[in-house]
A = this chain, B = another copy of it.
Amino acid sequence: MAELLDGKKVAEEITARVREKADRLTAAGILPTLAIIRVGEDPGDMSYERGAKKRAEKAGVSVKEFHFSDDACQEELMDTLRQINRDESIHGLLMLRPLPKHLDEAGLCEMLDPAKDVDGITSGSLAGVFMDTGQGYPPCTAEACMAILDHYGVDLKGMKVVVMGRSLVIGKPVAMMVMKRHATITMLHSRTREEDFRAAARDADIIIAAMGRAKAVGSDQLGEDQILIDVGINMDDEGRLCGDIDPDAAESRAKSRTPVPGGVGSVTTAILMKHVVEAAEKV
Which residues does A use to contact B, with CB under 8 Å? Answer: 106, 123-124, 126-131, 133, 135, 157-158, 160, 166, 168, 172, 176, 179, 182, 184-189, 191-193, 196-197, 200
Contacts and interface: CB of A to CB of B under 8 A. Distances in A.
Contact of A200 (B106, B130, B131, B184): B184
27 contacts: A106-B133, A123-B127, A123-B128, A123-B133, A123-B135, A126-B130, A127-B127, A129-B130, A130-B168, A130-B172, A131-B168, A157-B191, A158-B192, A158-B193, A158-B196, A160-B196, A172-B176, A179-B187, A179-B189, A182-B191, A184-B187, A184-B192, A184-B196, A185-B186, A185-B187, A186-B187, A186-B200
Nearest to A125: B127
Contacts of A129: 130
Contacts of A166: 179
A187 to B, nearest CB: 5
A123 B157 CA distance: 27
Contacts of A193: 158, 184
A50 to B, nearest CB: 29
A184 B199 CA distance: 12
A79 to B, nearest CB: 24
A157 to B, nearest CB: 6
Nearest to A186: B186
Contact of A127 (B124, B184, B189): B124
Nearest to A203: B199
A128 B106 CA distance: 12
Contacts of A135: 123
A200 B130 CA distance: 23
A174 to B, nearest CB: 13
Contact of A188 (B157, B172, B184, B197): B184
Contacts of A127: 123-124, 126-127, 130
The 3 closest A-B pairs by CB, nearest first: A182-B191, A127-B127, A123-B127
A187 B200 CA distance: 13
A157 B200 CA distance: 17
Nearest to A176: B172
Contacts of A128: 123
Contacts of A189: 179, 182, 184
Given A123-B131, A129-B130, A184-B188, 8 more contacts: A106-B133, A123-B127, A123-B133, A124-B127, A126-B130, A157-B191, A158-B193, A158-B196
A135 B126 CA distance: 13
Contact of A124 (B123, B157, B179, B185): B123
